[in-house]
Amino acid sequence: MRDVQNQADARGIAIQRVGIKDAHLPFLIKTKEGGFQQVLARIRFTVALPSEYKGTHMSRFLEILMPWSQKPLAEQEMEQMLEEALECLQAQSAEVELSFKYFVDKQAPVSGRASILDLDCCFTGRKKKGEPMTFQLGIEVPFTSLCPCSKEISAYGAHNQRSVSRVQLRFRPGVECIYIEDLAPAP
C-alpha cells in the first residue's frame, strides 16, 4: 500500500491543525504534595504542518501519549510531550488538551462532614518550535450563594442559589502552575 501521507505535496498549502480529538486515556496528575491522582482524560492533540506535507499518521499521536499516561504529569511533562510531537511529526507547532475530573476532599460548612467534590479541569499546552510552551489551567467550581432578595423578605431564612465559576488561567512561560488540591478552608 502506498504511503500517501509521505508523498510530496506540490500545492503549497500548510496544514493549520491536524490530529486526534476525543481520545480517552488514564493519566496520573501530579499533586502539590508530590503524589498523584489517577484520572480519565479526554484528549485533543494536534500539530501544524508545513506545506510540503500532505498530512500525518494519526497513530503517532497515541504512540506519543501512551508512555506519558504511565507517569505523573504536570506542565513540565506536557512541554516534553509537545517537544516529542514537534520532533516526531516534523511539525511547526503542537497543542495538547487534557480534560478530566479531579477529586478534592471537602468539608460541609455546618455539619463538618467530609465528602469528595469532583471538579471539571483542563490542562492545555501550546508549543511552537524553538519557543517555550504556554500552559493553561481550566477549572469549573460549583458554589452556592445566599439569595439577597429571599433573605430580605424572609423572617426565618432564605434559599441558596447554585452557581458554577469557570476559570481559565494562562501561565507565563517559566512560571509554575498553582496545583488544585485543597479548596476546603483550613480547620
Residues of the chain with pLDDT > 90, as a percent, come to 44
pTM: 0.78
Determine the Cα–Cα distance for residues 15 and 17; give it in Å rounded to an integer: 6
Per-residue pLDDT reduced to its tens digit, 136-151: 999 999 888 777 776 6
Helix, strand or coil, per DSSP, at residue 71: coil
Is residue 22 pLDDT above 80, yes or no? yes
What Cα–Cα distance (Å) separates residue 62 from each residue in 15, 42, 68, 159, 175?
Answer: 20, 13, 10, 48, 28
pLDDT by residue (tens digit) across 24-70?
A: 999 999 887 778 999 999 999 999 887 666 667 788 999 999 999 99
Instruction: Based on DSSP, count helices (H) and strands (E) in the chain, helices before strands.
Output: 3, 7
Domain 11-141 architecture: Roll (3.10)
Q: What is the pLDDT of residue 184?
A: 38
